[in-house]
């Protein structure tokens, strides 16, 4: 599975009911396997995340823009390298957290981050009530977005406490691990998750 993330600056005055679904539809039509439109909490930016079956489809979609609507800031294609279903996978997500690690990152840094995520962090958060899913999106240069979907803000706070409560595994090298470059909370304005995200590995 692959994904695209289109970032935009919101025009709040122009937002009417259903604007998130309309924006995703205007951008991608019915082509993606799933999509979600996110609006930054206490901010003026947003994102359209869409899922695609092939790298070629994602690369082509990343080049798209709408002639009208918000101000488009950036877009990129990603490989979905991990996709976990949380304890609330059967409930609709209301709040998203995007944890961003900018590239380039070395192969050693990427491997260390994957090991930490799969073997330390995911086991610590998988049973947190309200967590819908966690997807790890990776660019070719190692840049990564961890997209966590949850039922409310309190869930993200509980996930953060669980993450900070973990201890490094014996084989982890702290020199290869780094803090995220950005963390953004956003309202899930519209969502249609792909089947793998709804029933992925737990």
DSSP 104: P
Helix H or strand E segment including 198: helix 195-198
Report the CATH number that the domain containing residue 50 is assigned in CATH: 3.30.70.100
pTM for the model: 0.93
Q: How many domains, the chain?
A: 1
Number of H helices, E strands in the chain: 6, 8
How sure is the predictor about 201, in pLDDT bands with cuts at 50, 70 and 90?
A: low
Residue 193 belongs to what domain range?
2-198
pLDDT for position 198: 42
* pLDDT tens digit sequence for 77-111: 999 999 999 999 999 999 999 999 999 999 999 99
CB-side exposure of 167: number of CA atoms within 13 Å?
1
Evaluate if residue 20 carries a pLDDT over 50: yes
């Amino acid at each position: 599975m692959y994904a695209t993330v289109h970032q935009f600056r919101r025009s709040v005055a122009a937002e009417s009911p259903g604007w998130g679904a309309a924006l995703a539809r205007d951008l991608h039509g019915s082509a993606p396997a799933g999509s979600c439109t996110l609006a930054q909490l206490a901010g003026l930016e947003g994102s359209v995340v869409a899922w695609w079956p092939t790298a070629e489809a994602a690369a082509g979609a990343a080049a798209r823009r709408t002639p009208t609507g918000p101000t488009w800031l950036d877009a990129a294609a990603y490989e979905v390298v991990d996709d976990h279903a949380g304890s609330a996978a059967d409930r609709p997500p209301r709040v998203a957290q995007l944890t961003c690690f900018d590239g380039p990152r070395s192969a050693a840094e990427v491997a260390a981050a994957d090991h930490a995520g799969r073997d330390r962090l995911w086991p610590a958060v998988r049973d947190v009530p309200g967590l819908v899913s966690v997807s790890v999106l990776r660019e070719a240069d190692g840049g990564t977005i961890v997209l966590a979907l949850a039922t409310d803000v309190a869930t993200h706070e509980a996930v953060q406490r669980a993450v900070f409560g973990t201890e490094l595994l014996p084989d982890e090298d702290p020199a290869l691990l780094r803090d995220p470059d950005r963390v953004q909370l956003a309202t899930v304005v519209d969502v249609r998750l792909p089947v793998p995200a709804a029933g992925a590995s737990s």
